[in-house]
Amino acid sequence: MRAFSFLGLVTALVLTVFAAGELRAQGMGGGDPGRRGYTYGLSPEEIAPGVYVFWGAQEPMTPENGANIVNTGFIVGDESVLAIDTGPTRLYGEEMLATIAKVTDKPVRMAVVTHHHFDHAFGMSVFKKANIPTMMHFGARPLLLRDGSGVLQFMEILVGANWVSRIEVDRPTRVTNRVETFDLGNRKVVVTPFENGHTPGDLVIYDEKTKTLFAGDLAFVGRTPTIPHADIPTWLDQIDIIEAMPWDRLVPGHGPLVTDRAQLTPMADYLRYLDDYVKRAVANGETLADSLDPPPPERFRDLAEIGVEYQRALLKLFRDVERQELDTTVR
């Protein structure tokens, strides 16, 4: 183990100097949070009676925003509160809980984490420490534990160690793969599972009283969908199901409030395009390197983070589609 960590140290040194000096100085050495210090300044918006959202930035994750690029929220009943997602860091989770306590004195009975991606799940340990149960889809738990440490490294490079340092990636206290109903006191909230679309396990949360749906990352609006664990055809079917649900307003995982189902069309269009493009390219014998150019079509260029996310998406899809194709040609 000692050799391993020594090599790691050398690697870190080379990475630090090389990245700072020659490529792009970013986030190393702790990150610069700007004037505010290491706080997010979370301030909830009440989008419907008793339904609150913390809106995240439509930006890349940076040392300035501390990876607050995600929408989280909470629903207040007569007796208790349900939190939706826990944010990207422990600091976020702590601030979220403190802010909820300023809005209501009702206890938070549970945090529902919509899926395992860090921006939604890495504040989870805070809730657990406060004896608040956390719940995920049962398909999300293994991925959280498997990928957690790698993602922490990646976050540290992008937003800096100070935001990231106290994060503990830990298992949820509960998992589910069924429809679950919670009564928050004169207020019924329904949690519905979705499998193997955006990720192996996503949950959406529906407040019957105000017809508000928290769709997690099954819905991206105005921001390029991320697909590292997605099966696109299944996800497209799930978008149809979500469109058919009886909501009046929808809170996407990323992007502004949705009141018109047409706001979900661009993401579906983009996902369909990606899937077709890569399948066609692999069938023609192309490699990823052949396909990095040209850039994505004009109609997608206004999506936030299209540059980075398009490349990420191609990487992942090429790997999957190429593997499937080669599996059919084994000699």
Q: How many residues bind Zn ion (CB under 5 A)?
A: 4
Contacts of Zn ion in 231-260 (CB under 5 A): 253
Q: Position of tokens 């979900």? A: 264
DSSP string for 257-271: -B-SGGGGHHHHHHH
Task: Give the one entry of other proteins, Zn ion, none that residue 119 binds, where binding means its C-beta sits below a cut-off of 5 to 8 angstroms depending on kind.
Answer: Zn ion
- Residue 172, by phi and psi: left (phi above 0), alpha (psi -120 to 50) or beta? beta
Q: Which amino acid is at 76?
A: V
How far apart are alpha carbons 281 and 302 in whole angstroms? 24
Residue closer to other proteins (CB basis): 153 or 186: 153
Q: Within 10 Å of residue 190's Cβ, how many Cβ atoms?
A: 15
Q: Does 41 bind other proteins (CB under 8 A)?
A: no
Q: Position of tokens 């945090």? A: 111
Q: Does 217 bind Zn ion (CB under 5 A)?
A: yes
Q: Does 8 bind other proteins (CB under 8 A)?
A: yes
Q: Does 324 bind other proteins (CB under 8 A)?
A: no
How far apart are alpha carbons 72 and 94 in whole angstroms? 13
Q: Which amino acid is at 2?
A: R
Burial 136-153 (b: 16+ CB within 10 A, else e): bbbbbbebbeebbeebbe
Q: Position of tokens 């018109």? A: 260
Stretch that binds Zn ion, among 3-11, 119-127, 133-141, 276-284 (CB under 5 A): 119-127
Beta bridge partners of 212: 207, 249
Contacts of other proteins in 125-184 (CB under 8 A): 146, 150-151, 153-154, 157-158
Closest Cα to residue 218, out of 278, 232, 210?
232
Task: Give the one entry of other proteins, Zn ion, none that residue 217 binds, where binding means its C-beta sits below a cut-off of 5 to 8 angstroms depending on kind.
Answer: Zn ion
Stretch that binds Zn ion, among 57-65, 109-117, 153-161, 197-205 (CB under 5 A): 109-117
Q: Does 119 bind Zn ion (CB under 5 A)?
A: yes
How far apart are alpha carbons 257 and 252 in whole angstroms? 7
Nearest approach, Cβ of residue 226 and Zn ion (Å): 7
Task: Give the one entry of other proteins, Zn ion, none that residue 262 binds, where binding means its C-beta sits below a cut-off of 5 to 8 angstroms depending on kind.
Answer: none
Beta bridge partners of 188: 183
Contacts of other proteins in 53-72 (CB under 8 A): none
Stretch that binds other proteins, among 18-26, 74-82, 175-183, 235-243 (CB under 8 A): 18-26
Is residue 82 within 8 Å of 106, Cβ to Cβ?
A: no
Q: Does 15 bind other proteins (CB under 8 A)?
A: yes
Nearest approach, Cβ of residue 85 and Zn ion (Å): 8
Q: How many residues bind other proteins (CB under 8 A)?
A: 49
**Using CB under 8 A as the criterion, which residues of the chain lie in contact with other proteins when the complex forms?**
1-4, 6-8, 10-15, 17-19, 21-24, 146, 150-151, 153-154, 157-158, 228, 284-285, 287-290, 292, 308, 311-312, 315, 318-319, 322-323, 325-327, 329-331
